[in-house]
Structure 1
């Protein structure tokens, strides 16, 4: 009962972008297990995620959404408010990565990464914040950053990804201060190497290079991010805003 009072999300409406697979899917299930209704926003279907939400004893639905489009996001949020009545939590997770040397990557490729990882999160956070203010919701927005926003990954080169995630961290701080008077909390989550398709499907030589650099000598599990998200989404973090929560097996410590 005590933990439910602090970390429970019963009666809350949570939105997860990019929740059709990987970290987004696992976090969506975790939010559902904590009692939240979970809405998935993604460009493709989310049948597997919706089944996991249902199996967790909660309810949810999917809305096809392009996070880089203001119109698409606004329409998705309009439907959520109409159907669910509120938006209390946003896990701003949609993102892409490009492993390419800077001189080989095109400007268009750089812009695409920044458009999804930074501008997309800005559009989603902005729309969510607007609704929270209008309805007087003391909500929580959790932006997906990365340890790559604080360090430079080696041996792969991914300037566009690193730059986008560093910007997400500072955008989070800026929004946290700007929206504090509305009791809207904005924090970011910075995972290290997590065993998802984005990292597992990378070349073997890269993964072999990563392991000695991680003090724990292993990749994290997506499930190991869920407790941090539940903390940031729940009443437990009522005085936490503008923080970047790093979950990286101590990678950024050395």
Structure 2
């Protein structure tokens, strides 16, 4: 009777007839998934690089299946896995697309179908600062954890579509890719897993019409070959008792295996686009703040309590707020620029040297012009040198006119002539070339106080099943790898010069949990990775007084969107679904925020993703019933 109860309460205990392909199957969780699913009645395609281990695994499964078949009674035989139900396929997920496609074809031919795919293959990489991580290791990590998962999914799901099969894809991600699970020392790993989670959501959005479901699982710490010795440490058990809500790390069986079975079973036919977190609540608390230590010493992270900060301001007359703390409106009205100076000190950034990538057009060009007017020295960097020269001439001409026309008492607030320099930079180039361009940028003024990583590409609008490998690689190389490499070489120099600095990454609402963008799988995944890159670099570079933040803009008027913004239907959409009822303009919506993040007023602001889109993504996917 117990089996009958399980059959109704947990129907996913049996998965007879399902064909499941598991990548990274030669060890760890992949091997465990294969064994568990075989016991549940699945036919297994075990895929990995180490063919000898795969053969050993498949022999073990087939032997167990044979014993089960011979020992079972006739009425039970239908519920037991059949003999020779496991096949080994050599697969390197970091290979090029044609090789992966060939391996997927072998996997498909083994049983004539694939009902479910588990993208388990991945690498952790070494623990390294983002300033010391090698370009080779970065590329390997992204290629294995993210690009490989997309390519295997692409070729498996194409075949599911052509065979008119309902299917399930399960991506094994990590808590390192979550907003609440930032992992110091793992900038490439964390960024790749954040990208994988966004890949999951967009593929779920696009493939739902084909009855293909896509979900991901973000495991915490589980016992494996790598972690076995760590899990036995007494201090780790004490940490679990102190900080983990469920007081233990748990075991992968049943914590992960049961969830994998469920997502393969037809019971989950309406479950798609989810990121399932399995870590006993370990990341819910975030990073510990050690309140008791701060209460004992009276010191915060930089040696002064928040109360001390408030006390300084309470006893200070700014000229805007009187001793009684009441605002003198009449006085404010007469003060003009002085008020702005106190209320928005970031309106002036005199003496700051700012490097802006992607400066030849669009937002990058607008940032350069705005920051120059604020008194910054500008290093305008992009591929199109002719446009950069034109931009710098415009800035220097404005500065020259400003210097001549300014009076002596306010000249110190005006930018000096020839304060803009053009540097040719291709952020999709290899690291040595980017390093050389950064050196030229640094030499222009002998320092860089702030970097704005604005360079990026949108790419074509394409289904995840039709997107070319070349376009995928180009998008990631520009939007994510390029931003990391420029930041790496700029921040190294900031560190060596003992400079306080600011890095601002221009991301997108497409990279947010709430802003899935169909047709832009590479773009959105790269921007999700950029947001995680932001957080991990902020975590690691804070000790060097280097702040790292990102801005996720929505739809703003630009060269690309100018005609779109004039459409009457777009205005109606804004009135219906955008909380603030309009898209806004990049100046001041974005320019003022960029100024603020460069100014010293933001010296305690780091690791943030600022969303600037008038609330457009808050409702999620709009239901156009009322439009």
Q: Give 3-state SS (helix, strand or coil) of 2:227's partner.
A: helix
| 2:258 paired residue number | 227
Give the 3 Å change call, closer, same or farther, for CA 206–106 of structure 1 in structure 2.
Answer: farther
| 2:90 paired residue number | 64
- Superposition deviation, residue 3 in structure 1: 4.2
1:84-113: CA deviation from partner (whole Å, max 9, x where unpaired): 110101011000002222122112211111
| 2:374 paired residue number | none
| 2:43 paired residue number | 37
Answering whether residue 242 of structure 2 is matched by residue 237 of structure 1, we say: no
| 2:116 paired residue number | 89
**Which runs of no fewer than 5 residues in structure 2 stay unpaired?**
66-80, 286-627
- Superposition deviation, residue 194 in structure 1: 1.1
Query: What is the aligned counterpart of 2:58 among 27, 35, 50?
Result: 50
Higher relative contact order (CA 8 A, sep 6+): 1
1:41-72: CA deviation from partner (whole Å, max 9, x where unpaired): 10003134224423254510111111122222
Q: State the alpha-carbon separation in 2 of the partners of residues 94 and 205 from structure 1.
A: 30
| 1:169 paired residue number | 197
Give the 3 Å change call, closer, same or farther, for CA 60–107 of structure 1 in structure 2.
Answer: same
Query: What is the aligned counterpart of 1:13 among 19, 22, 29?
Result: 19
Give the 3 Å change call, closer, same or farther, for CA 130–228 of structure 1 in structure 2.
Answer: same
1:96-175 equivalences in 2 (<5 Å)? 96-98=123-125, 99-150=127-178, 151-153=180-182, 156-175=184-203
- Superposition deviation, residue 210 in structure 1: 6.0
| 2:209 paired residue number | 181
Give the 3 Å change call, closer, same or farther, for CA 3–50 of structure 1 in structure 2.
Answer: farther
**Which runs of no fewer than 5 residues in structure 1 stay unpaired?**
none
Q: State the alpha-carbon separation in 2 of the partners of residues 116 and 141 from structure 1.
A: 17
Answering whether residue 255 of structure 2 is matched by residue 250 of structure 1, we say: no
Give the 3 Å change call, closer, same or farther, for CA 172–41 of structure 1 in structure 2.
Answer: same
- Superposition deviation, residue 79 in structure 1: 1.6
Give the 3 Å change call, closer, same or farther, for CA 18–237 of structure 1 in structure 2.
Answer: same
Q: State the alpha-carbon separation in 2 of the partners of residues 124 and 35 from structure 1.
A: 24
Give the 3 Å change call, closer, same or farther, for CA 5–248 of structure 1 in structure 2.
Answer: closer
Q: State the alpha-carbon separation in 1 of the partners of residues 222 and 281 from structure 2.
A: 13
- Superposition deviation, residue 196 in structure 1: 1.2
The answer (yes or no) to whether the contact 2:18–2:116 under 8 Å persists in 1 is: yes
Q: Which has the larger radius of gyration?
A: 2
Length-normalised TM-score, structure 2:
0.38
The answer (yes or no) to whether the contact 1:68–1:123 under 8 Å persists in 2 is: no
- Superposition deviation, residue 216 in structure 1: 3.5
Give the 3 Å change call, closer, same or farther, for CA 92–117 of structure 1 in structure 2.
Answer: same
Q: Give 3-state SS (helix, strand or coil) of 2:283's partner.
A: helix
Q: Give 3-state SS (helix, strand or coil) of 1:198's partner.
A: coil
- Superposition deviation, residue 179 in structure 1: 0.4
Q: Give 3-state SS (helix, strand or coil) of 1:190's partner.
A: strand
Q: State the alpha-carbon separation in 1 of the partners of residues 58 and 172 from structure 2.
A: 21
The answer (yes or no) to whether the contact 1:6–1:235 under 8 Å persists in 2 is: no
Give the 3 Å change call, closer, same or farther, for CA 65–210 of structure 1 in structure 2.
Answer: farther
| 2:428 paired residue number | none
- Superposition deviation, residue 235 in structure 1: 0.7
Structure 1 window deviating more from structure 2 (58-67 vs 37-46): it is: 58-67
- Superposition deviation, residue 4 in structure 1: 9.3
Q: How many equivalent pairs are there?
A: 253
Q: State the alpha-carbon separation in 2 of the partners of residues 241 and 123 from structure 1.
A: 19
Question: What's the RMSD between the two structures over aligned residues?
Answer: 2.4
- Superposition deviation, residue 184 in structure 1: 0.3
Structure 1 window deviating more from structure 2 (98-107 vs 47-56): it is: 47-56
- Superposition deviation, residue 218 in structure 1: 3.5
Structure 1 window deviating more from structure 2 (70-79 vs 133-142): it is: 70-79
The answer (yes or no) to whether the contact 1:118–1:164 under 8 Å persists in 2 is: yes
1:134-158: CA deviation from partner (whole Å, max 9, x where unpaired): 000100000111111113445x521
Q: State the alpha-carbon separation in 1 of the partners of residues 101 and 280 from structure 2.
A: 37
Q: State the alpha-carbon separation in 1 of the partners of residues 149 and 238 from structure 2.
A: 30
Length-normalised TM-score, structure 1:
0.91
